[in-house]
């Protein structure tokens, strides 16, 4: 955890509200493999990381609430019986959304004060949104003794995003952030919302994230569009979700779909298979296979699902050409954010230096490199 951020956030709360707060940390996430499979009730393989959101919270003693975003120097004031949705893209909607969804569940929430801050770079695709939602719902649960289970809390976080932010996300990000385990990744079944934890020990290899530092427009609507295509195909196949389909089944509906939509659906079915293969590879400590599955995922996301971009492709192409990298792909929803790379330690510094230089030359702006540790999910921070 970031001790300096905890202290800053806490001190700011005390200055602002003159009382000591309860502190919550909620992590961001990476995902080894299994992209765009979660809302198809399939499998994903995320892990919580040591970058996240720190929130200081305390009951206000009235029906008024005040939330301060330290990094943006913006505040939100509301009372629970008069909550208004803010402009699209504002962090305020995550807060309003979580409170509204808690109330919809019939739980009683009075006013509270909060200050939050974070160290997940904006737009990096490491799920600062899920971390923020989870930190608030977890904090409310503590303050008001709501007796919500962790599973209920992540459903509240997800609904906040669906209904107040407008992204019809799956459950992966909220789950990983809430249920993460130190040094482990979680093979999550998004239908049953249960997971198996895998110790991640890559021997001579390291996981490295490279942030393109771009987030292209319209990624939210493109995300929702793809979800709709998947649901349409599942309805045509008369199944609950694409998780229940195999490649052969898809031939039955091929002629009824456009070629682009067929490719998207095919990607999802293949990606779900890849997650299972990756979990086998990890069990057998077969890093080569794991790595080549990551490269395959990238190809699928780029050519079939159509959610990559020039910057991500450039980074993955370079990784593919470098023999010290055994696997790489874009990570998360797409259209920007990070790539995840499995790189041999001996050559890591050179790979990073050369990639950073080439990226700057090609795009005229810097990429950023992050090393992450895998950590426990949302918890009180002292
Ligand atoms: C975003 C969503 C997740 C998931 C990924 C793609 O991060 O929030 O639910 O769908 O994209 O795998």
Q: Quick check: 105 pLDDT over 70?
A: yes
* 133 in contact with ligand 1, CB cutoff 6 A: no
pLDDT category of residue 82 using cuts at 50, 70 and 90: confident
173 is catalytic: yes
Query: Which ligand 1 atom sits nearest the alpha carbon of residue 127?
Result: 7
Q: Single out the residue of 157, 107, 150, 166 nearest to residue 130, CA to CA.
A: 157
Do strands 64-69 and 112-118 pair parallel, antiparallel, or not at all (unpaired)?
A: parallel
Beta strands in the chain (DSSP E): 22-31, 43-44, 46-59, 64-69, 74-79, 112-118, 184-189, 194-199, 205-215, 325-330, 336-344, 368-371, 379-380
333 lines ligand 1 (CB under 6 A): yes
Mean pLDDT, range 278-301, rounded to an integer: 98
- Residue 334 Cβ < 6 Å to ligand 1: no
pLDDT tens string 319-335 = 999 999 999 999 999 99
Centre of ligand 1 from the C-alpha of residue 169, in Å: 6
Has residue 260 got a pLDDT over 70?
yes
Task: Please tell me the predicted confidence (pLDDT) of residue 97.
Answer: 97
Nearest CA to ligand 1 atom 10: 36
Q: Is any atom of ligand 1 closer than 6 Å to the C-beta of 332?
A: yes
pLDDT at 217: 67
Q: Which residues of 325-354 are buried (b: 16+ CB within 10 A; e: fewer)?
A: bbbbbbbbbbbbbbbbbbbbeeebeebbee
Listed residue (230, 170, 155) closest to 44, CA to CA:
170
Region 18-28 average pLDDT: 98
Asked whether 39 lines ligand 1 (CB < 6 A), one says yes
Of the candidates 328, 332, 290, which has an alpha carbon nearest to the alpha carbon of residue 307? 332
Structure confidence by residue, pLDDT tens digits, 216-227: 766 788 999 999
pLDDT recorded at residue 220? 83
Lowest-confidence pick of 164-168, 174-178, 259-263: 164-168
pLDDT at 218: 66
Q: What is the average per-residue pLDDT within 96-118?
A: 97
254-267: average pLDDT? 98
Closest protein CA for atom 1 of ligand 1: 333
Determine whether the shortest distance from the Cβ of 336 to ligand 1 is under 6 A.
no
**Closest CA to ligand 1's atom 8:** 169
Give yes or no for residue 271 CB within 6 A of ligand 1.
no
Task: Give the rounded percent of residues in the chain with a pLDDT score beyond 90.
Answer: 94
Q: Quote the ligand 1 centre to 109 CA distance (angstroms).
A: 29
pLDDT class of 198 with cuts at 50, 70, 90: very high
User: Could you say which of 173, 261, 296, 322 is catalytic?
Assistant: 173
User: Which residues pair with residue 123 across a beta bridge?
Assistant: none
Q: Ligand 1 mean position to 160 CA, how many Å?
A: 15
Rounded to two decimals, the pTM is 0.98
Cα 43 to ligand 1 centroid, rounded to whole Å:
12
Q: State yes or no: pLDDT of 66 exceeds 70.
A: yes
DSSP letter at 303 equals I
pLDDT at 64 exceeding the cut of 70:
yes
C-alpha 335 to ligand 1 mean position (Å): 12
């Amino acid at each position: 955890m970031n001790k300096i951020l905890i202290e800053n956030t806490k001190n700011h709360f005390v200055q602002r509200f003159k009382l000591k707060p309860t502190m919550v940390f909620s992590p961001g996430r990476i995902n080894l493999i299994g992209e765009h499979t979660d809302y198809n009730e399939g499998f994903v393989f995320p892990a919580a990381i040591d970058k996240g959101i720190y929130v200081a919270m305390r009951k206000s003693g009235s029906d008024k609430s005040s939330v301060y975003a330290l990094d943006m120097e913006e505040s939100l004031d509301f009372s629970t019986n008069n909550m208004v949705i803010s402009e699209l893209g504002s962090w305020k909607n995550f807060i309003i959304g979580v409170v509204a969804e808690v109330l919809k569940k019939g739980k009683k929430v009075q006013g509270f004060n909060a200050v939050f801050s974070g160290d997940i770079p904006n737009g990096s695709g490491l799920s600062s949104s899920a971390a923020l939602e989870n930190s608030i719902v977890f904090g409310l649960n503590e303050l008001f003794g709501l007796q919500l289970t962790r599973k209920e809390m992540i459903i509240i976080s997800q609904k906040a995003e669906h209904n107040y932010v407008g992204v019809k996300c799956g459950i992966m990000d909220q789950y990983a952030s809430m249920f993460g385990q130190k040094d482990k990744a979680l093979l999550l079944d998004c239908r049953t919302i249960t997971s198996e934890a895998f110790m991640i020990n890559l021997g001579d290899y390291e996981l490295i994230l490279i942030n393109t530092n771009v987030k292209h427009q319209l990624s939210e609507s493109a995300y929702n569009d793809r979800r709709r295509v998947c649901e349409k195909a599942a309805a045509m196949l008369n199944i609950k979700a694409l998780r229940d389909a195999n490649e052969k089944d898809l031939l039955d509906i091929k002629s009824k779909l456009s070629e682009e939509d067929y490719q998207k659906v095919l990607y999802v079915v293949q990606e779900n298979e890849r997650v299972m293969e990756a979990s086998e590879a990890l069990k057998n400590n077969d890093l080569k296979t794991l790595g080549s599955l990551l490269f395959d995922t990238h190809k699928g996301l780029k050519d079939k699902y159509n959610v990559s971009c020039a910057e991500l492709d450039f980074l993955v192409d370079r990784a593919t050409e470098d023999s010290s990298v055994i696997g790489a792909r874009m990570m998360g929803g797409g259209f920007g954010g990070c790539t995840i790379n499995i790189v041999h330690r001996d050559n890591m510094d050179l790979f990073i230096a050369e990639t950073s230089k080439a990226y700057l030359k090609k795009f005229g702006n810097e990429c950023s490199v992050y090393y992450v540790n895998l950590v426990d999910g949302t918890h009180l921070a002292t």
